[in-house]
Each structure stands twice: as C-alpha cells, then as structure tokens.
Amino acid sequence: MTVWEDYLQPNGTLRNKLSIEDAHVLQQAEYRITLMRQVYLSNHQYRLPSGKRLTGATFDDVLAIHHFLFADVYDWAGQLREVNMNKGGDDFFPFQRFAMGIADLNEKLSAYTAVPPERRAVREVLGEIISEQNFLHPFREGNGRTQRTFAKLLAYQKGFAIDLDGMSEAYQKYMAASIADDITAMQQVFVHFVQPLTH
C-alpha cells in the first residue's frame, strides 16, 4: 500500500477482514476483539499464544503487540504504515524516516533495560519513551491501544503497573498528553500514576 485510499473501502471505511462496511460497526467489533487480546496479554504475563514472551527490549515488540491485537481485523496488522498522517493539523513522524525514528526509539529501549527498578527512575524514562512512540505513530490505525499496551509491558518489566484502561484518571491525562504531543505532560502521567505491582 502506498496511497491513503488503499486502506479504505469506497465509502471511506477501513478495509478489514471482517467484511464490515459500516465504520461504526467496525469500530465496535475492533474494540471488542482488541480488548480481549489486551486482557489476554495482561493475564499471561505478556506471553503470546506462540510462547514468545514480550519484553519491550526493542521496537519489534511494538510490531508484535499490534499484530496480536489487530490480526483478526486488518491484513496490515503489525506492519508500519506507508502513508503520512496528521491530526488536528499536526503531522506525525513521516513514514519515509521510520528507520531513523525506530533506531532512536530502540536506543531508548536499550537504555531502559538498564534502568534500576525504582519508581522514580522508571516513571520518568517511561514518559519519554511513550511520548516518542506517540509522535512516531507507526500504524495506520490502532496506535493508542498498542502504545498503552506497550507502556504497561514496560512498567511490568520493572515490577510496576499503570491503569490506562477505560475512564481512569490516568487514562484521561494520558489521552490529553497524547493529543497535545506534550512530553512533559506525558512524563507527569507516569510520575503520578505508576504504582508497584500487586499480586
């Protein structure tokens, strides 16, 4: 796919594997499917049905999460978008420069593996990583759900958790920071809401 229209049906609804033509119906089906997949990952300590354990050490796990969440909905699940995107007049990272952006994110993820499992250190670095992933916006659809799942995975790896589900206060502030593409606000989300895991 190389042009915007390649992702769409003639009526503007995203092409999908469910043969759904109505955008609202597709949105509802997509939500149900991806919610079940998110719950699965959380309940299985971020291990895929194949047995592969996600660690968040590289961007490959972002691709794997997107594929797992959306594989039943879109043919391009787990694949980088091949069009440029913007929201509210602000452009996301150009797809032509993904290699550079992903390399930069991988450097931050590599550094994160060395961060001690201390709340202050973890939450500050997490905010920076997720803010950068938000600007990268690597997929045509499903960036938010993939990003939140990845954030929870990274927190989990250090023995922490953050509630980014539903209508939680953390979710509301996360969404505001995401929409504004505000790295400081995103860092504050993790500063205030990352908590030790409870078993």
Question: How many Å apart are CA 106 and CA 48, to the nearest integer?
Answer: 21
Residues in CB range of 26: below 8 A, 6 or more apart: 13, 14, 16, 18, 20, 73
Question: How many Å apart are CA 182 and CA 131, to the nearest integer?
Answer: 7
DSSP 86: E
- What is the architecture of the domain spanning 4-82+90-196? Orthogonal Bundle (1.10)
pLDDT tens by residue, 131-181: 999 999 999 999 999 999 999 999 999 999 999 887 789 999 999 998 888
Taking a C-beta distance cutoff of 8 angstroms, is the pair 147, 133 a contact?
Answer: yes
Q: Given this model, what pLDDT does residue 50 score?
A: 96
How many other CB atoms are found less than 10 A from the CB of residue 97? 10
Q: Where are the domains of the chain?
A: 4-82+90-196
pLDDT tens by residue, 4-59: 889 999 999 999 999 999 999 999 999 999 999 999 999 999 999 999 999 999 99
